[in-house]
Structure 1
Amino acid sequence: MAAVTFKEKPVTLTGKQLSVGDKAPEFTVLATDLSEVKLSDSKGKVRLISVVPSIDTGVCEAQTRKFNEEAAELGNVEVLTISVDLPFAQRRWCAAEGIENVQTLSDHRDLDFGKKFGVAIEELRLLSRSIFVVDSSDTVTYVEYVPEVTNHVNYDAALAAAKQAK
């Protein structure tokens, strides 16, 4: 497992970390209306999965805004932002910030996504900042586990991977 820190203190990620070429595991998270959303709901599309610890922090806000701005240029790519924030908080934040091109999803209920993608931070019950690109056949084509959770992802690399995936 990759060594990950949160504010320079080591944290423990639970679950198996994924690599390029792995099949993306099916997961269940909640939409802002509390309906269940699964990876298979977007089968046949490329998915850029942006993982943030909490939508209400500076780096997480910037990450979500960046992918919201770029989503229109990505064509047949569905952009999902997943955190453990409550669905109500995600809905409020998106409405206040004008976020309309990404789907915010909550892993609060049981950390199903976090455990299956190896990003659940055991000590904090948050998700570790990361990016995954999953192609239309559910194969992982890009992975970034950010070593320091408070740092930004490599936006350019993630966007390029999403554009190249089929």
Structure 2
Amino acid sequence: MERSVSTMHGNAITLVGQELKVGDKAPDFTVLDNELMPKSLSDYAGKKKLISVVPSLDTGVCDAQTRRFNEEASKLGADVVILTISMDLPFAQKRWCGAAGVDQVITLSDHRDADFGQRYGMLIKELRLLNRGIFVVDENDVIRYIETVKENTNHPDYDAALKALKAL
């Protein structure tokens, strides 16, 4: 399934994969953590999840997005996990987190299989990057909030995502 709903620097891009809706069961996925170990949605079972999707941590907006959620994470409680998923290599994610002092957000890489990108409809066909967006998933793995950012150089609506997460 393909759809053109976003842009990158004003140029139309094509998103590949399943288009999800609020109320859908969140699909499981396999990504890699910073130690090259596979992780999936089921590894965070029973937790409320904010999934922050970014094209690359090495860009200004992605950096700011990840830092913002890292700041918020300590205020959310032990029953909440914030995952940042990108196509960056796990080594690059680990280096970036160390340099940025990011220690509350879990960074995960979709570079190997683009499994998350395809299952969540966030894979950019032309660039093999992920479209910027946010998913809030409850403790029963039901999607409660989705934002697919229309222009990837823009910030997501942090306040709306955090409000949806806190409402769970």
What range is the shorter-chain TM-score in? over 0.9
Deviation, structure 1 residue 82: 0.2
1:40-75 CA distance string (max 9 Å, x none):
001000000000000000000000000000001111
Q: Distance in 2 between matches of 1:98 and 1:11?
A: 32
**Residue 19 of structure 2 aligns to which amino acid in structure 1?**
Q
CA RMSD in angstroms comes to 0.8
**In 2, are the aligned partners of 1:2 and 1:147 still within 8 Å (CA)?**
no
Matching residue of 2:153: 150
Query: Cα distance 1:2–1:74, how it changes in 2: closer, same or farther (>3 A)?
Result: farther
1:95 aligns with 2:98: yes
Identity of aligned residues (%): 60
Deviation, structure 1 residue 23: 0.3
**Residue 33 of structure 2 aligns to which amino acid in structure 1?**
A
**Residue 143 of structure 1 aligns to which amino acid in structure 2?**
I
List, as ranges, runs of 4+ consecutive aligned residues in structure 1 with deviation greater than 4 Å: none
Matching residue of 1:58: 60
Aligned positions, number: 165
Matching residue of 2:47: 45
Q: Distance in 1 between matches of 2:116 and 2:135?
A: 12
1:128 aligns with 2:131: yes
1:96-130 CA distance string (max 9 Å, x none):
11100000000000100000000000000000000
Alignment partner of 1:132: what SS? strand
**In 2, are the aligned partners of 1:129 and 1:145 still within 8 Å (CA)?**
yes
TM-score for the superposition, normalised by structure 1 = 0.98
Q: Distance in 1 between matches of 2:117 and 2:39?
A: 14
Q: Distance in 1 between matches of 2:4 and 2:14?
A: 10
